[in-house]
Amino acid sequence: MSSSLIIGQYIPTDSVIHRLDPRSKIAIIFFYVVIVFFANSVMSYGVLALFAVGSALLSRVPFRYIMKGLKPVWFLIVFTFLLHLFVTREGDVAFSIFGWDVYREGLVQGGAISLRFFLLILVTSLLTLTTTPIEITDAIEELLGPLKKVKFPVHELALMMSISLRFIPTLMQETEKISKAQASRGVDFRTGTLKDRVKAIVPLLVPLFVSAFKRAEELAMAMEARGYQGGEGRTKLRELRISKLDISLYVLFALLVIALFMTRS
Amino acid sequence: MHISFEHVSYTYQPNSPFEHKALNDMTFSIESGSFVAVIGHTGSGKSTLIQHLNGLLQPTEGKIHLGDYTIEAGVKNKHLRELRENVGVVFQYPEHQLFEETVAKDIAFGPQNFGVPQEEIERRTKAAVKATKLPEDLLDRSPFDLSGGQMRRVAISGVLAMDPKVLVLDEPTAGLDPSGQKEVMDMFYDLHHEKGLTTILVTHSMEDALAYADYILIMNHGELYKEGTPLDIFRQKEDLEQVQLDVPEVIAFLSKAEKEYGINLEYKGQTIAELAKELARKVRGGSDHE
């Protein structure tokens, strides 16, 4: 289950993409998501796809692995495509199957929307594949920094995020451990009626909650014992720095935007 | 139940960047009724190995025979339920699996899943509680109100109540105080003999392996490094050091006695103090003759 979904998983292949400042990555991806919606010609989609696929290749994460990991999302992409195909009724009839007319416009629309979908998911999953959760939360804390002026608890929010992210794998392991222990005691999580399966979750959830609360309490105690104090005046072990690499990314992205608007029809 | 592994390998997350071969071509067999200790350094594949014993993991290559059951790579196995009823597994920190409102209900959970009739469950619960030396008035309490040691005993009772023929123990004494450790191990040892169980103990304690097991499997990097009787195994100090394992103190003492005085003492489960006296007698006895 967990092995097929790669969104949120970090792969340490140490590429140029990995070495970029996480703030740059987040900002660029944000703008990329915006400009994807400006594309309206084959060429402009081509330019966008080139950027996305190029980044994926540069990340040195095996491309086939990314594709395999996007499997659950493929369903959504194909579904959107088919929906457009059958619902749009503009333009000429391209062809018909089983007595249902498929219109040219539907084909184009469906293709465009699916491609957008694919590009968005590819680029955003590239962020988590090449950036550690800690880097991401650090970057978010920095990017939200200005909000501190209006008393928004940016540091606390970032801390909450990093703690949650930190404990996801721990809780996953715990879930696996407990489900194995209960399976050994004859619980069957996979077969049976829906009611049986819901019932089978109780012996899993109760111990999981108990241990999560215990962990939370221990963590709070450990932080307090070491005199943790958030927010103002707290320094970082690893400071984020914009390097030449980031500057070249900005230049590249600016070129992408120009190319996109030149190829728009 | 006789257990045998034939060229068993297991790979975690095959065909991904996280691919990891945890077991590599393991072949061995465990006689019915024997007490086997599995030892090895952290990450040597012990936990992966024991998860094959009740079909939680299925080998990616090879075949496992457990009594009349066979688990084979690439074949869908239907009889997992029966197998799990016969192979009880006590995981590390088993108290983490408690969830019911009362101790009695939690102990009854396993047998209930396997469709054991109610009167039989009650009989087994009483027997299990007696074996783990839990006071019977705890049965109606919530397991979360108990002390850590008691919780562990409740969890162990829950596995015993399944009335398994094979008992798999994954470091059952981790985190207990020394007297608690000895009590729990002695309890498993007594049960092993009383019920004629086949017991497989995963442990980091060489002392326990020596004291309780009649056969030892040593694992290293997912492979079977050595197997043999405790005395055979622990005589091979250099080979053990190669895989970062120590020799129990008693055996180290015996080897040293042999080296320093040329005296070969026979080991029959004595403590160091007893052996020291024996040695002193022999050394003195020897010098008397001269």
pLDDT digits (tens, 9 = 90+) for B244-273: 888 888 888 888 888 888 877 778 777 888
Taking the CA of residue B249 and the nearest CA in chain A, the distance in Å comes to 34
Summarised one tens digit per residue, pLDDT across range A196-219 is 888 888 899 999 999 999 999 999
3-state SS, residue B246? coil
CA B56 – CA A182 distance, rounded (Å) = 11
**How many CB pairs lie under 8 A apart between chains A and B?**
65
Interchain proximity A182–B17, CB inside 8 Å: no
- Chain A residue numbers with beta carbons less than 8 Å from the beta carbon of B162 are 185-186
Tokens representing A215 are 């962990």
Helices within B161-248 (DSSP H only): 178-195, 206-212, 230-234, 237-242
Kindly report, residue by residue over A137-149, the tens digit of the pLDDT.
888 888 888 888 8
Give B-chain residues touching A203 at CB under 8 angstroms. 97, 99, 109
Chain A residues with CB-CB distance to B60 below 8 A: none
Average pLDDT, chain A: 83
Task: Give the separation between CA B50 and CA B66, rounded to whole angstroms.
Answer: 12
List CB contacts (< 8 A) between B113 and chain A: 185-188
What is the reported pLDDT for B188?
94
**Amino acid symbol at A71:** K
Question: Does the pLDDT at position A232 exceed 80?
Answer: no
Check residue B223 and give left, alpha or beta (phi > 0: left; psi -120 to 50: alpha): beta
β-sheet bridge partners, residue A102 = A95
Ordered by where they begin, the domains of chain B are 3-240 (3.40.50.300), 248-290 (no CATH)
Contact list, B11 vs chain A (CB under 8 Å):
none
* Cβ neighbours, 10 Å, residue A73: 17
Over chain B, what is the mean pLDDT?
A: 89
Separation of alpha carbons A119 and A110, rounded Å: 14
Q: Quote the tokens at residue A164.
A: 């949650």
The strand ranges marked E within chain B are: 3-12, 20-30, 35-40, 61-66, 69-72, 87-90, 166-170, 198-202, 215-220, 223-228
- pLDDT tens digits for range B183-198: 999 999 999 999 999 9
Q: How far is CA B208 from the centre of its chain?
A: 10
Compute the half-sphere exposure of residue B277: CA atoms within 13 Å on the CB side of its CA: 4
Distance, CA of A249 to CA of A262 (rounded, Å): 20
Contact B84 A203 (CB under 8 A): no
Q: Residues B204, B39: contact at Cβ < 8 Å?
A: yes
Strand partners of residue B223:
B220
Whether the predicted pLDDT of A125 surpasses 50: yes
What is the C-alpha separation between A6 and A17, in angstroms, rounded?
A: 17
Cβ–Cβ < 8 Å for B63, B72: yes
Of residues B152 and A94, more confidence is placed in B152
Instruction: List the single residue in A13, A61, A184 with the smallest CB-CB distance to B89.
Output: A184
Residue B12 · residue B59 · CB < 8 Å: no
Closest CA–CA distance from residue B88 to any residue of chain A (Å): 7
Q: Chain A residues contacting B, CB < 8 Å?
A: 3, 11, 13, 61-62, 65, 174, 177-178, 180-188, 202-203, 206-207, 210-211
How far lies B4's CA from each of A24, A32, A141, B53, B70, in Å? 56, 58, 56, 10, 10
- How far is Cα A81 from Cα A100, in angstroms, rounded to an integer? 16
The answer to whether B162 contacts chain A (CB < 8 Å) is yes
Are the CB atoms for B123 and B131 separated by under 8 Å?
A: no
Q: Residue A74 class from Cβ within 10 Å (0-12 exposed, 13-18 middle, 19+ buried)? A: middle
Could you tell me which of A196, A202, A140 has the C-alpha nearest to residue A165?
A140
Specify whether the backbone of A10 is left (phi greater than 0), alpha (psi in -120 to 50) or beta.
beta
Residues of A within 8 A of B88 (CB-CB) are 184
Q: Are strands B166-170 and B87-90 parallel, antiparallel or unpaired?
A: parallel
Q: How many helices (H) and strands (E) does chain A have?
A: 10, 2
| Average pLDDT score over residue span A46-52 | 89
Is the minimum CB–CB distance between B11 and chain A shorter than 8 Å? no
Q: How far apart are CA B136 and CA B150, in angstroms?
A: 12
* Two tokens, residue B44: 């040597």
pTM of the model: 0.75
Higher pLDDT: B87 or A86? It is B87
Residue B223 near residue B27 (C-beta atoms within 8 A): no
DSSP, collapsed to helix, strand or coil, labels residue A6 as: coil
- Is A229 within 8 Å of A9 (Cβ atoms)? no
Q: Greatest CA span in chain A, whole angstroms?
A: 73
pLDDT, position B287: 54
Residue type at position A129: L
